[in-house]
Structure 1
């Protein structure tokens, strides 16, 4: 597994993420945003962060543009979580997508959110060759999410 992590800066943590989370908690989705809640792998406490949910070919995915960050480690341990939009709570299970299968998902994610997250993909964009998408795949965890039963 790659150790790739791009930690957010002060503005992202203290202004942007808080604003997006605040709007999303009130039912206003910013370009498909949701608040991800996942149990901490050590504490067991719920941890939250704003995320973008990608729908591709009828399947839903969470992509970690900043790499192997805390929510991805927690997701691996918990095997799922909840997506919040306003008062709506959607529990889900998560399956990590193998690196070999990520290229079309990363391409679609970058097509939708490149303006917001493109800087974290080291120059790789939605129009990059497949080989470039495969090269960066280990740096960006992807989880397929399905509704919990």
Structure 2
């Protein structure tokens, strides 16, 4: 049986997180990433949890979601935390470099581990499982514009 990603419950939770952040209530390490639609040109916003590896910031997705497709075409967006925001360049990390970055995710964003397990992108919360998930995950380096 193929699991729907993101699951409907996550879509609802994301809407709540977006609403809270827009009124200035910050939830954990989450930020709002807004990327303009590749076809519509309309802004699309999703919660992400940036993390730092070797001085570089990254965001990941467990699947090729719409925001990932948009980011791959647009290569930039706006990253916001509460009412503060910054324009950023989103650099798609090649698959052969993703493993080392993903390996750090369970250490840096432990609250995000369950979401990636639930998606089926990783088998468990170990660093080895995250590294092995490189072909299944999108990783973007976040650079300030």
Question: TM class by shorter-chain length?
Answer: 0.7 to 0.9
**Structure 1 unpaired stretches of 5+:** none
The two structures have a TM-score, normalised by structure 2, of 0.85
Determine the C-alpha separation between the residues in 2 that align with 1:36 and 1:145: 11
Whether 1:77 and 2:73 are equivalent positions in the alignment is: yes
Per the alignment, residue 113 of structure 2 pairs with: 114
Gapped regions of structure 2 (runs ≥ 5) = none
Matched-pair contact (CA < 8 Å) for 2:104–2:127: no
Q: 1:133 to 1:127 in 2, by over 3 A?
A: closer
Give the total of aligned pairs: 139
Matched ranges for 1:59-138 at <5 A: 59-65=56-62, 67-111=63-107, 112=109, 113-120=112-119, 121-128=121-128, 133-134=131-132, 136-138=133-135
Task: Determine the C-alpha separation between the residues in 1 that align with 2:16 and 2:116.
Answer: 16
- C-alpha distance after superposition, 1:80-115 (max 9, x if no partner): 100112221110011111111111211211232213
Within 5 A, what are the aligned runs for 1:2-21? Answer: 6-14=4-12, 16-21=13-18
RMSD: 2.0
Indicate how the Cα distance of structure 1 residues 7 and 115 shifts in structure 2: closer, same or farther if over 3 A, else same.
Answer: closer
Alpha-carbon distance in 2 for matches of 1:59, 1:6: 31
What do residues 117-136 of structure 1 show as CA deviations (whole Å, max 9, x unaligned)?
3322331433326xx724x2
The alignment's TM-score, normalised by the length of structure 1, stands at 0.82
